[in-house]
Amino acid sequence: MALLYTQEQREFIRMVQEFADQTLTPEVVSKYDHLGQCPVELFKPAFDMGLHMLEIPEEYGGAGLPYSTTAMVFSKLAEYDAGYAITLVSTFVALRSVMLAGSADQARRFADIIEPGAFAAFALSESDAGTDAGSVKSTATRDGDDYILTGEKTFITNGSIANVYVGIFRTADTGNKGLSAFMIERSREGISVGAHEDKMGLRLSDTSTVNFDHVRVPASNRLGDEGAGFKVAMNSLNLSRAFVATLAAGIMQRALDESVSYARIRSQFKRPIIRFEAVQEMLADMAIALETSQVLIHNTMTMMDQGNLVRKEGAMTKTYVTDALQRVVTDAVQVFGGYGVSKAYPVEKLMRDSKVFQIFEGTNQIQRVTIANELDKEYAGKEVGR
């Protein structure tokens, strides 16, 4: 591989692999995939390992690992089940909002909730506010030293299992500039959870509607200034999009592993199908897609570790890798032939898990708009030609 791992990174990956071999067996994953349930009890050993604290700074009791290392850890976990991995990663989506826009006190309070073994959720999307995040209608009304939060959030990963939310609410009727971000403890009165989404893939991940019915939070729970919510959300998502790609790379690795192994033992016309040029081309393209994706992810993570918000780079990474993922899992199913669409073989599930990666954290269509807009800014005033 093009990436050169440090000894520490190799050790973390080895530990995660040993953990997943014992906890996320094919039988366990298949059971909960069939049920469409998030197996909360299966996260206790992950908590015991501290996988929920990897990004939390050391001063708040976490491991304080760089993004480039946590990316490798969660990519390995996604090889076993991306739904399980994204349940842990979603806590860090909320965390990044707190770390980017919140105070030291807010960061400590967030970490104190998570440390015993808990989840967090980032609550932005609504029924009419997905790609168009500026259309958020849920409101936060100032009442003395408090805010009253009212509205419904949809498609919230970890929605029903979160102990703390970071939510985006409207504090003024001024478009994107009228949104504010809040840290909201689950223990507050007025929070209820609606139906869990019966999804095509990532079925071990909880995705639910969360209702806020006149939920009172102190003004000290607001992250950043009033009106800064859209910026808080976008800056956090810029970083999170690269982590979406990280999980996608884990699925790609699993698809390649399964496909090569199967092609070596499956025979037709008295020879293994890996000897057929058509199959070799598919396997080679899968390997190329995985390798280039991993290098792109690592470069973006390194930029993030250096403090860059990677608006363009995060969008490029998410778009390229998740589009490549669709081709890889499609080829994996093709290598398996008729068995590829059978639930008795793993690639059927990998294909189901993959599609949503082009949709969440901002559709790949809107990512291309973001990339083009950033290019427009970069080239403003530049001379054309040489």
CB distance 90 to 120 below 8 Å: yes
Question: How many whole angstroms separate alpha carbon 158 and alpha carbon 269?
Answer: 49
Question: How many whole angstroms separate alpha carbon 41 and alpha carbon 49?
Answer: 14
Burial of 1 (0-12, 13-18, 19+ CB in 10 A): exposed
DSSP result, 117-184: T--EEEE--BTTBSS-GGG---EEEEETTEEEEEEEEEEEETTTT-SEEEEEEESSSSGGGGEEEEEE
Instruction: DSSP letter for 223, please.
Output: E
139 CB contacts (<8 Å, ≥6 apart)?
149, 150, 151, 169, 170, 171
How many other C-beta atoms lie within 10 A of the C-beta of residue 376? 9
Calculated CA dihedral for residues 32, 35, 40, 46, nearest 10 degrees: 10
Nearest to 254 by CA among 333, 198, 318: 333
Question: How many whole angstroms separate alpha carbon 331 and alpha carbon 186?
Answer: 43
CB distance 150 to 217 below 8 Å: no
CB distance 314 to 241 below 8 Å: yes
End-to-end CA distance of the chain: 37
Nearest to 223 by CA among 214, 215, 232: 232
CB distance 353 to 202 below 8 Å: yes
Q: Which residues are catalytic?
A: 361
Residue type, 359: I
Question: How many whole angstroms separate alpha carbon 105 and alpha carbon 221?
Answer: 10
Question: How many whole angstroms separate alpha carbon 345 and alpha carbon 299?
Answer: 34
